[in-house]
Amino acid sequence: MPLPFLTADRAHDDDRAGPEAAPLSRTDVTYADGAYEDPERRRRPYRPGPWRVGGAAVLLLLASYLLFSALIIVLAGSGSAAGVCVAAAALVIAFAVRMVGAGVRVSTRELRRTGLIMSTTVAWQDVASIRTVQQPVRWLGLPRTVQGQVVLAERTSGGTPLTLITSHDTDFLGRPEAFRAAADALDGWAARHGR
């Protein structure tokens, strides 16, 4: 069942559109209404993986239990203990949101690698190359390492390459096709917007 309202170019999804239906040009698109995405905006070149989304869902479930326990504690009459539960729930929610937001974002100007604690932004002209190498990688971000693949961004200034994605992180564990597609997408962005 086609869902034409999910795509920016409805003419290609519409079964009634004939061969004269042409895609929208950039001048025909207005970005103010939010119907189409601005190419200057940062976007993730891949979908978040099931481990990342599942982990965030479990954390949000834990936060809902904490908030419900805070409600019960307030009804029992202890406001300070309820405040501790609400603060803990707020921390868990913030961690879950940050966990879902972690990953690689690209725009026409820059490449951004966002982690749980810090982010690194590199302009495309400062990226010498993006390559995929075989090496030991961390399994789901834990200290344990396994043999896998990693996509590295080499900087023109030299130094340590920036690790973008790995085949065993929360987005790509058990999804080798998605890893290859994301590596190709990152390589394509570098080819279009890099040096």
Give, for 58, the enclosing helix (H) or strand (E): helix 50-76
Residues 183 and 132 in one domain: yes
Residue 186 within a domain: yes
Mean pLDDT of the chain, nearest integer: 84
Domain ranges, residue 82: 50-100
Which of 36, 66, 100 delimits the end of a domain? 100
Q: Which one, of 153, 193, 149, lies nearest residue 168 by Cα?
A: 149
**96 and 56 within one domain:** yes
- Domain-located, residue 5: no
| In a shared domain, residues 73 and 134 | no
Tokens of 144: 């344990």
Q: What is the pLDDT of residues 133-167, one digit of tens each?
A: 999 999 988 889 899 999 999 999 888 899 999 99
Evaluate whether residue 185 is within a structural domain: yes
3-state secondary structure string across 134-194: EEEEEHHHCCCEEEEEEEEEEECCCCCCEEEEECCCCCCCCCHHHHHHHHHHHHHHHHHHC
Q: How many CB atoms lie within 10 A of CB 179?
A: 25
Q: Choose one of 68, 100, 132: the last residue of a domain.
A: 100
Q: Per the domain annotation, does 21 fall within a domain?
A: no
| Statement to judge: residues 144 and 186 lie in one domain | yes
Query: Number of structural domains, the chain?
Result: 2
Partners of 148 in beta bridges: 135
Using the predicted structure, report yes or no on whether residue 3 has a pLDDT greater than 80.
no
pLDDT of residue 140: 85
The pLDDT score that the predictor gives to residue 24 is 44
Asked whether residue 81 falls in the same domain as residue 142, the answer is no
Domain-embedded: residue 37: no
Length of the chain equals 195
Residue 87 lies in a domain: yes
